[in-house]
Structure 1
C-alpha cells in the first residue's frame, strides 16, 4: 500500500535470517513485461498436463468488516463494500485469498494460479494480459491486481464499470510474504485472518530455514530464465525473486555473486563461466522449452560450468517458484533437500 511502497528496499543477504515480520520492508522487482508474458503463456500451455499442487489447509473463514477504503501501490484509492465475488489477477494473490479462508468467494483466476483448489475457476487472462470483458462478465465485487498486471487500459475499464481494483506490489522476496498477506487481508476486511495466516507462514518459514545444514558449504546456484521458442535466455541477479529463494534455501545466488546489478541479464558464455554455478535452478517449463537437460547444455557456456558438467539441474513448477505466498515454505524445504543432497553437496 502507499506507506509500504515508500519504504526502502533492502539488499538480499547471502543467507536469509527472518526478523520480526513487522520490521520487514518490501522489495519491488524490475522484470520486463515480455518476460512475464512468455512465462505465463508457457505456464498456461503446460499446467493442464501437470498434477495440480495443493495449498496448505486454509485458515477458517472470518466474517469481513466492511466497507474498507485502501490505497493501492499504484496510489489509487478504492473502497470495498463486499467480497462476495473476488477476482485475483495473480496466482500469488489467489493463494493468499484461499489461505485466508475466502476461496469460496473467488470467481475467476489468472493463468499463473495453478493450485488444485482454483483449477475449476475460469481464466480471465490471455498470456499476461487481462481481459476486462471476461472479468466484468463475472460481476466481480472486488479485483485484486499487482503492479505488473496489465494492460493499464483493462484495469481502467474495470474501474470505470464501478468495480474496486486494488493493486499490490509485485512480490520479490521471501521477507515480503507476511506483510503481503496482511495487506490483502486488510483490503478484504479480514485483518484477524491475515494476522493468523501470516503467523502460520512465519512459523513455517522459520522451520524450513532451520533445516539448512549448519557447517556445510553453500552451493552457488544460478537461476536461468529460458524460453526456447521466444529466444529468451537470461540469468537471474539481485531482485529476480529467485535470488531470495536461493538464499532462503542456503545457497548463494551466482548472478549476484559475480556482480550483476539487474534482476535479469542476457546470458553470455563468459558470464556463465565466471558464475561457475554448482547448481542450475530453472522453472519446469523453462527447461522443457529448450528440450530438457540436453538442450540446456547446448546453451552457450552451460556445459562449461560445474553444474553443466555434472548435469546438476533443479526445477520447480513456475507458479510455485517465486509466488511468495502460502506455498513458499514448502518450496524452500524442497530446495533445501535438493541443494544439499548428494551429489550437490
Structure 2
C-alpha cells in the first residue's frame, strides 16, 4: 500500500533520509532509519504533531489522584493531561560564554559566536523547549510545527506540509545559529543553511528516557551555557527519579503489571504501526511500571501493525497520540479500523490512553510531567480532568 502512495515533497525527503541512512557509518544507521520511518508516517499523513492538549486545563497531580485498586479491571479510555504544562525556565542563569565551539552528533566542529537569533527545530519539539527552559526563549525567532507550547506558538513556522523544512522561510528569519537533528528534511535544506554561513549544530536525533540529560547538555553547550545545561539536566533527572519512584509505589507487583503497547495511527492514510525497542516507547513503558509487550515479541523499532502481532501481544493498555486516536474517530473508530484489537484485553475493556502528540515522545525537560500525566491516566483514570467517556 505504501508503494502506491504519490511521492509528495515530504515523502521524497523521507526517501532521501533513508538513502542517507544506507550511506551513513554503521554507528548512525540505526538512528537514521528509525527517524526516516517516523518521518514517513508523519509525511504520508500530512499531519501536524501539535497536541490536542495545548491550552487545556492542567491535569491532576499523582499525589492527588485516586489510584485504582486493580488497574487490570478498569473499563474505559482516558486522556493524559500535563499537571504542569507551563514552561519553567531556570532562575539565575549563569553567564553565557561565547564563542562556543562544539563537535556535534555528526562529528562536525561548529563555532557559535552569536545567539541573538536562535532557531531550534526537530520532529519532536524537544530542542525548542530546551532552549526556553534554559532561559533563552526570548532569542528564539521561529518554530517547527511540533513546538506547540503557548510561549512559542506565535512565532513564524519554518516547516510546511507537516514537517518539510522551507529553506526560504528559514533564511527570511536570519538566524544566527540553528540547532536541529536529522529528523527533519529535506536534508538539502539543512545543508543549505550551513552553506549560507549559518552555524548549524546537529544534536542527537534519538529520543528515549536514556538520553534526556545528554540532549539537554548538547543544546546548552552549543549556546554557550554549559553550566546551565548541567543544572537543567540535573533538575530534570531529579524530577524523573522522583516521579518514577512514586509510580513504582502504585504499580501492581510482578505478574500483575499492565501489559502495554504503543500504537501509532493515522487513519486517514491507513497507517498503523507498533512501536518497539529502539523507538523510546520501551523506556517510557518501563518507567510507567508496565510490561513492554512489543519487546516480548522480539520486535525492534517501528513495525507495521499485523493482526497476529497485536493479538499475540495481549496488551492490557494501548498508548496512542491524541491526533492518532482522533484520526480514526476515537475508540469506536479504532475498534472498527483495527478489529483484532477487540480480541485483546485492552480492546475488550476499551483501555486506550492517549496524550498530546507534541508531549508524549518528546523526552525533553518536561519528561517527568509526561510520566506523571500518563501514570494518572493509566492508574487513576477517574481522577483525570480530561477523562474520556467510555
**Is 1:156 matched up with 2:160?**
no
Does residue 37 (structure 1) correspond to residue 37 (structure 2)? The answer is no
In the superposition, relative to structure 1, how do residues 193 and 342 fare at CA in structure 2: closer, same or farther (>3 Å)? closer
Q: Count residues in correspondence.
A: 321
- Measured in 2, the distance between the counterparts of 1:313 and 1:75 equals 41
Cα distance in 2, alignment partners of residues 99 and 176 from structure 1: 17
1:156/1:342 CA distance change after superposition, 3 Å: closer
Give the drift of 1:291. Answer: 0.9
Q: Secondary structure at the match of 1:315?
A: strand
Whether 1:182 and 2:217 are equivalent positions in the alignment is yes
1:62 aligns with 2:66: no
- Give how far 1:37 is off: 2.6
User: What is the distance in 2 between the residues matched to 1:124 and 1:276?
Assistant: 41
The one of 266, 271, 285 equivalent to 1:232 is 271
Aligned counterparts of 2:361 and 2:33: Cα–Cα separation in 1: 11
How big is the shift at 1:277? 0.2
The CA distance in 2 between the partners of 1:113 and 1:342, in whole Å, is 27
Taking structure 1 as the reference length, what is the TM-score of the superposition? 0.86
Map 1:301-312 → 2, pairs under 5 A: 301-312=340-351
Matching of residues 24-173 of structure 1 within 5 Å: 30-31=34-35, 32=37, 33-38=39-44, 41-44=47-50, 51=56, 54-60=85-91, 61-90=93-122, 91-126=125-160, 127-173=162-208
Distance (whole Å) between structure 1 residues aligned to residue 45 and residue 136 of structure 2: 27
CA shift, 1:27, in A, is 7.5
1:49 and 1:86 mapped to 2: Cα distance?
23
User: How far apart, CA to CA, are the structure 2 residues paired with 1:76 and 1:144?
Assistant: 13
Equivalent residue for 1:245? Answer: 284
* Runs of at least 5 residues in structure 2 that lack an aligned partner in the other structure: 1-24, 58-81, 383-390
Whole-angstrom CA distance in 2 between matches of 1:171 and 1:133:
27
> Deviations along 1:266-319, whole A, 9 cap, x unmatched?
111111110000001000000000110001111131111100000001001000
RMSD of aligned residue pairs (Cα, Å):
2.5
What TM-score, normalized by structure 2, do the two folds share?
Answer: 0.77
Alpha-carbon separation, structure 2, partners of 1:181 and 1:297: 39
Cα distance change, pair 331–29 in 1 and its aligned pair in 2 (3 A): farther
Distance in 2 (CA, whole Å) between partners of 1:50 and 1:231 is: 29
Return 170-179 or 182-191, whichever deviates more: 170-179
Structure with the larger RCO, 1 or 2 (CA within 8 Å, 6+ apart) = 2
Superposed displacement of residue 156, structure 1: 1.4
Q: Which runs of 5+ in 1 are unaligned?
A: 1-5, 10-25
